[in-house]
Chain A
Amino acid sequence: MEYFLQQAINGLTLGAIYGLIAIGYTMVYGIIGMINFAHGEVFMIGSFLTVIFITVLGSLGIHPTFTIIALVLLLVIPFTGVWGWSIERAAYRPLRGSFRLAPLISAIGMSIFLQNLVQFLQGARNKPIPVVVPGGFTLVESDGFPVQVRWLQIVIVVMTVALMIGLTTLIHRTRFGRAQRACEQDMKMAMLLGIDVNRTISATFVLGAGLAGIAGVMVAYYYNVVNFYDGFLAGLKAFTAAVLGGIGSVPGAMLGGLLLGLIEAMWSAYFSIEYKDFAAFSILVLVLIFRPTGILGRPEIEKV
């Protein structure tokens, strides 16, 4: 039981991170009906920028934990946001209206370019990061098995919940959110109401990239090591989460992320840690075959 609880806590943390990345996939799909294949690398840049900024801040003598967390986030979010904006401008907008695979190919091109750039600048080996949020506490202990919660896990889950509340408010209560939903439901009509559709699409890419950047920061703290190759796998997992929850649905992305995180944690605990990726991608294949609309997705026919 204690072992299960421990895995649930770890799975929840991982799931929150998958969910944050998955939102970028789902929002972009919702508005332009295409998968942003360069999205995983946005997350990876978030992690690498974290390494760089921590080093820089450290050399400036800034060390206290919460200052570092806040400053790194403030520095990383704009960078990843700009990268999200660039993906849309370079890979998606010029090819809008051409055959459907064209933007996907150019997005994959951008993501390979970025992987190689980071590999070239930062090297192919794992980069270690100092521990930024140390410590934790024991939740319960019985039969000599302590259930540990790291402070960082609390930070990750609380921050994710706060971001979800903020995002939901943004989508449902603000002018931008309304414009965004209008574009999702009928882009031509949105234009006829004077909505600047290009700007709304750009903002959607930026928003998704900002969240992926935050996930990148958290993962760097969580695993204390980053690699130029991380974006690919995490991207694919988050994409799985988005499909599982129902691509196009923001609550679905979060739910899919949580489920995937939990499944992965349980799978590695009770079956085999080597094959945990196998579990994630089996889910992707099964969902695509048996329920392509995912848990909370709408059937495609409703799309105008």
Chain B
Amino acid sequence: MPGFPMLEVRGLHARYGAIEALRGVDIDVAQGEIVTLIGANGAGKSTLLMTICGQPRASAGSIRYEGRDIAGLATFEIMRLGIAQSPEGRRVFPRMTVEENLKLGATVADVKHYDADLARVYKLFPRLEERRAQRGGTLSGGEQQMLAIGRALMGRPRLLLLDEPSLGLAPMLVKQIFATIREINAAEGVTIFLVEQNAYHALRLAHRGYVMVNGRITLAGPASDLLANPEVRAAYLEGGH
């Protein structure tokens, strides 16, 4: 199943002033995989996604993407290499329309693909097409999440980083979003690195998983193994499902 290594993170450290949020993280994502990272609130998951994108900079360790060390590059340069992120909090541009948000997502893509890509995003999320002229700030939480993912896809990424796409959404909508993520991976071959607190759904969806505690990876393995692991069940699945 796994193809060639797409993302190799080794001994990664990152800090916010005096706070060390990542303390030596190793992660591998192979081409074509869905890999998930689970962990409690404040573990450092969002920091890892942002550090991959150069915000904040890695204070030690290395990040290789498609064999190339990207840890020293500026954020906009990293994003031009085929990485896109749907970040924590969605960060939809509030005073721009849905379509303008999507157009901004296409900043790094060749304009000749724009019409086809827009049609493809609208096919994945028909709701966005209905709201195309509405301002981002007036969308519901679920619609904003769709827009954040759609906007990331408009950049034609080979590696898609998703930060808690299920946060704050109704269970029906969570199911739909996860089904769409599977489709993006299976039908289009986009590699996916998914950060989630919703461990059950994430591990059901992913091929492999990592568990992060206090800025370190404490467990790693095939998603089905983690799902069966008593430690994981106790810490992240208790009470749910």
Contact = CB atoms under 8 A, between A and B. Distances in A.
Interface stretch (A62-70, A87-95, A179-187, A222-230): A179-187
Contact of A196 (B76, B84, B85, B100): B76
A179 B96 CA distance: 11
A182 B95 CA distance: 9
A296 to B, nearest CB: 13
A194 B107 contact: yes
Given A182-B96, A304-B94, A193 B105 contact: yes
Contacts of B108: 193-194
B164 to A, nearest CB: 15
A100 interface: no
B132 to A, nearest CB: 15
Given A194-B80, A194-B108, A186 B91 contact: yes
A181 B93 contact: yes
Given A193-B151, A195-B107, A185 B75 contact: no
B94 A193 contact: no
Interface in B76-116: 76, 79-80, 84-85, 87, 91, 93-96, 100, 103-105, 107-108
B55 A188 contact: yes
B79 A191 contact: yes
Contact of A191 (B76, B93, B103, B151): B76
A193 B155 contact: yes
B50 to A, nearest CB: 9
A273 interface: no
B79 A192 contact: yes
Nearest to B94: A185
A175 B103 CA distance: 9
Interface of A: 175, 178-179, 181-182, 185-186, 188-197, 302, 304
26 contacts: A178-B104, A179-B107, A181-B93, A181-B95, A182-B93, A182-B96, A182-B104, A185-B93, A189-B93, A192-B55, A192-B85, A193-B105, A193-B107, A193-B151, A194-B76, A194-B80, A194-B107, A194-B108, A194-B155, A195-B104, A195-B107, A196-B76, A197-B76, A302-B94, A302-B95, A304-B94
